[in-house]
């Protein structure tokens, strides 16, 4: 009986193929939304997963560097290293940078500081080159930034040499990540132009003159310096703690949380904060779009099958007149609907293989997602076939005799 459905398709093959292409493009968008959804979760969690710390120590009553501003003293890493059960501590700092390249293109990336020499970037997903071997002027970049090995990159007042290239290391916003030492990152973050330094010195001098210290020539002389000597190093965003083998991270966390100036999160809690906080709205919005597209696909396929059934009402009435059973008509409509859905599904897979790799954001489509889409297409095809079948069964054989 499949021959009957195939013969009917051959009768109007061009329209059937174009219809399948259109539905395939619609289904490819559903598949793309699923891949973007998965990619957002991976992008948001790739950095904490790669760094692999057991505990994240951040500023008290904050959610950590990925969710909000967090500032802890640089020397906190030394304090934590002295706690029993701690095997390694690493300072961490990150911030966004936007600059204009030599070709005039705007480059936006996230700059992350590694606690060199305790952390040289050996855990990064390196595709080419090596990790950091020097405390200054070396950078590891992601491949999405488009820089080759040994390229020179100017950030702030310093010029960095690209020594390594990672793959898939991007921020939760999809921007490529660059890795330098914490010392270089802090220098870039706290760098001011010469004019800004001059204005800062003048403003400081004016404030001292208005205060009671303005009567002291020595205080005025110190206030007029370009910058007062730093009493403490700049703060970092967090300290990563690795727990010794055999130690319980939860027990260590409970001990550290008794300190009044810090909050402590496990790796899973940091991942949850990223997924349920930082990207939560975008994630839910993409999920809503995906649901709407599935509903629209079902409606469109139902209308197409219904229209195809209307076009052959005369033929269906003739089949009834010749004594064809209802099962014959049922299989004809359902098989055409299934063939339309199957062809559309393969078109969606083909579009995904050709185009998803060129999207600006990571698109991850797993085999389970493809199987789920196949199930959805099968369900839609079956429902659309039932819509067409209801109209097909209403065909009146008397109309053939009347014509």
**Looking at per-residue confidence, does 284 or 348 come out higher?**
348
* Cis status of the peptide bond prior to 340, with omega within 30 of 0: no
Tokens at 167, concatenated: 């793959």
Q: Report the pLDDT value the prediction gives residue 1, as an integer from 0 to 100.
A: 42
Q: Report the pLDDT value the prediction gives residue 128, as an integer from 0 to 100.
A: 92
Portion of the chain with pLDDT greater than 90, in percent: 27
Task: Report the first-to-last Cα separation within the chain, whole angstroms.
Answer: 27
Residue 246 pLDDT exceeds 50: yes
Most confident of 85-94, 292-301, 394-403: 85-94
- Residues whose CB is less than 8 angstroms from the CB of residue 9 and which lie 6 or more positions away in sequence, other chains included: 16, 336, 339
Q: Which helix (H) or strand (E) holds 133?
A: none
Nearest to 276 by CA among 172, 361, 360: 172
If you average pLDDT over residues 318-343, what whole number do you get?
A: 70
Each residue's pLDDT tens digit, 262-319: 999 988 888 888 888 777 888 788 888 888 888 888 888 878 877 776 666 556 555 5
Lowest-pLDDT choice from 129-143, 152-166, 184-198, 376-390: 184-198
- The Cα–Cα gap between 258 and 175 comes to 36
Q: How many CB atoms lie under 10 A from the CB of residue 222?
A: 15
Q: Which helix (H) or strand (E) holds 109?
A: strand 106-114
Q: Please tell me the number of Cα atoms within 13 Å of 386 on its side-chain side.
A: 7
Long-range (24+ apart) CB contacts under 8 A made by 220-229 are 225/201, 226/197, 226/198, 226/201, 227/197, 227/200, 227/201, 228/204
| 324 phi, psi to nearest 5 deg | -65, 140
Query: How is the chain split among helix, strand and coil, in percent rounded to 5?
Result: 55, 20, 30
Band of the pLDDT at 116, cuts 50, 70, 90? Answer: confident
Portion of the chain with pLDDT greater than 70, in percent: 76
Tokens at 244, concatenated: 């010794």
Residue 101 DSSP SS3: coil
Q: What is the mean pLDDT of the chain?
A: 81
- The Cα–Cα gap between 396 and 196 comes to 87
Task: Look up the pTM and report it.
Answer: 0.74
**What residue spans define the domains of the chain?**
2-43+281-402, 50-266
Each residue's pLDDT tens digit, 14-67: 777 888 898 899 899 989 988 988 888 888 888 888 888 899 999 998 887 887
Each residue's pLDDT tens digit, 357-398: 888 888 989 899 899 899 988 888 888 777 666 666 665 555
Nearest to 389 by CA among 334, 342, 339: 334
């Amino acid at each position: 009986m499949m021959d009957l459905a195939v013969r009917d398709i051959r009768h109007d093959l061009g329209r059937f193929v174009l219809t399948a292409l259109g539905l395939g493009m619609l289904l490819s968008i559903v598949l793309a939304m699923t891949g973007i959804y998965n990619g957002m979760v991976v992008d948001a969690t790739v950095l904490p997963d790669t760094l692999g710390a057991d505990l994240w120590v951040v500023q008290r009553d904050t959610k950590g560097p990925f969710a909000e501003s967090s500032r802890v003293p640089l020397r906190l890493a030394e304090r934590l290293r002295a706690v029993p059960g701690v095997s390694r501590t690493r300072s961490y700092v990150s911030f966004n940078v936007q600059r204009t390249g030599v070709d005039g293109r705007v480059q936006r990336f996230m700059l992350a500081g590694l606690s060199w020499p305790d952390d040289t970037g050996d855990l990064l997903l390196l595709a080419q080159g090596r990790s950091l071997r020097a405390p200054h002027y070396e950078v590891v970049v992601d491949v999405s930034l488009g820089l080759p090995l040994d390229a020179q990159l100017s950030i702030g007042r310093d010029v960095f040499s690209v020594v390594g290239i990672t793959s898939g290391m991007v921020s939760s916003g999809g921007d490529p990540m660059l890795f330098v030492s914490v010392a270089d990152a802090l220098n870039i973050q706290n760098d001011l132009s010469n004019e800004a330094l001059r204005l800062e010195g003048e403003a400081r001098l004016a404030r001292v003159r208005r205060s009671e210290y303005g009567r002291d020539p020595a205080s005025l002389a110190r206030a007029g310096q370009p910058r007062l000597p730093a009493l403490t190093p700049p703060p970092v965003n967090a300290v990563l703690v690795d727990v010794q083998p055999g130690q319980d991270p939860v027990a260590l966390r409970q001990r550290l949380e008794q300190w009044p100036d810090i909050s402590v999160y496990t790796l899973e809690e940091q991942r949850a904060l990223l997924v349920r906080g930082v990207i939560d709205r975008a994630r839910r919005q993409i999920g809503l779009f995906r649901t709407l597209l599935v509903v629209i696909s079902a409606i469109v396929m139902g209308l197409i099958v219904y229209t195809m059934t209307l076009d052959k009402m005369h033929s269906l009435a003739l089949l009834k007149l010749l004594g064809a059973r209802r099962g014959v008509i049922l299989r004809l409509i359902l098989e055409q609907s299934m063939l339309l859905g199957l062809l559309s599904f393969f078109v969606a897979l083909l579009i995904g293989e050709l185009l998803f790799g060129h999207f600006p954001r990571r698109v991850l489509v797993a085999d389970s997602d493809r199987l789920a889409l196949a199930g959805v297409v099968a369900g839609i095809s079956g429902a659309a076939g039932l819509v067409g079948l209801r109209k097909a069964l209403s065909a009146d054989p008397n109309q053939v005799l009347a014509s």
